[in-house]
Amino acid sequence: MTDPHPAAWRTAPDAAPGVGFGGSGGPAEVSFGDQVDELRTHSLEWLRDARVEAVREQRRWRMRELAIVRVLDERDAIDDSLAAADGVSVREVRAAVETARARESLPRVAAVAADGALSDGQLTAVTRLADVDSDAEWAERAPHCAPAELQRAVRARTVPTVDESRRRHAARAVWGRFDEREGAWHGGFVLPDLEGSAVMAVLEARAEQMRPAKGDAWAPLRVRLADALVESVTGHGPERPPARAHVLVHVPVTGPAEVHGVPIAHERLEQLLANASLEVEVVDGDGATVAMLPTTTLIPTRVMRAVRTHDVHCRWPGCTRTTGLEIHHLVPRSWGGTDDPNNLVVVCAPHHRQLVPHGRWALNGAPRRVGALRLVPADALLGRLGPDRSPRGAAQARGPSG
């Protein structure tokens, strides 16, 4: 006996709701258990084909919904109240409206979506990527891209400004409250791009060290992350190798640099490069890897060692911290500074973010003279630089150091 084709399960867009599923009644008239029992009579091949068709049909209905949303939008008859009615977030409602508006100007993408070849996540992202000129190109590419890949391409369209980077940093917070009924603390944290990635990298590395005893099951990751957090703060727990963060910053040929897929400001990247180990991957015009260069640093190791040896502690006035120190350019490279030792000092990470080019302050003066560095507003330093932002005065660099 030949199985019926799964297309028999299709519900046409103009059919009355409730018609389909291979029976005389709709889903409301047939219990889930009855549907499962009926499906058990079909072959594996039929079920696989039926699932593919069901997904396509679901996507076709989504396109019909977006078309309705577009007309309602034209009539000013759609608002955030739909979120409660549909059981979704306000953000999802607004995204649907924006997607519906964009579809009219993207006929090729719309046609592919109407055929059920794009998921909701793919469609939402591609309508933010495509325009009239690239409509055909994205209609061909999008069905083969994961939603996360498309969303990352969307984020790469906008380079974060230094003000946005400062806002991320200013929003950092940790909170907690004690629930007396449960006898447990509830809390969370907000950390900026790099710091958040570093914290999670350490916790995840420590969680991976928490192997169960032979024969026991692994504890859920969320439980191990909680244990890792407690161990990291209290120092209590089994002796383990120290977990260190290895945060990868991806710097593409075009678009902003990213930390774990989150774009960062150019000014923040400049500060990171001074202290980073560089793993350079050379790519061609299509993004294919041509060569991998040996790991190196932007500033020669001997120069960094000399600066660290001389400064010993953070050079921010009044700060005596001796750990977690980073190399800082008094005059940033992007303002004309170089890697000459006379343009370099060490500062702690929290103060580094407050200094140029990312922060609003600058250290100005002769870095090798005791007490000669002064904290000045960033604009004051810019006022001492020429029109091309080339350095002058005591902080002037004398060219690359060997």
336 CB contacts (<8 Å, ≥6 apart)? 385, 386, 388, 389, 390, 391
| pLDDT for the residue numbered 368 | 86
| pLDDT for the residue numbered 402 | 29
| pLDDT for the residue numbered 386 | 59
Q: What's this model's pTM, rounded to 2 decimal places? A: 0.67
Q: Tally the C-alpha atoms within 13 A of residue 1's C-alpha that lie toward its C-beta.
A: 5
Name the DSSP class of 314. Answer: -
Residue 77 token pair: 């008859």
| pLDDT for the residue numbered 17 | 39
| pLDDT for the residue numbered 28 | 52
352-to-246, 268, 369 alpha-carbon distances in Å: 19, 10, 20
Return the exposure string of 230-240: e unless at least 16 CB atoms fall within 10 Å of the residue's CB, then b.
ebeeeeeeeee
Q: Token pair 């009539």 is at which residue?
A: 75
| pLDDT for the residue numbered 22 | 44
**Type and span of the H or E element at 273:** helix 266-273
Q: Which portions of the chain are predicted below pLDDT 50? A: 1-27, 390-402
The domain segmentation of the chain, as residue ranges, is: 6-155, 168-234, 299-395
Q: In angstroms, rounded to a whole number, what is the distance separating the alpha carbons of residues 294 and 278?
A: 8
Task: State in Å, rounded, how far the first CA of the chain is from the last one.
Answer: 81
Residue 38 token pair: 């009926």
- Torsion, CA 215, CA 219, CA 220, CA 221, rounded to 10: -110
Name the DSSP class of 241. Answer: P
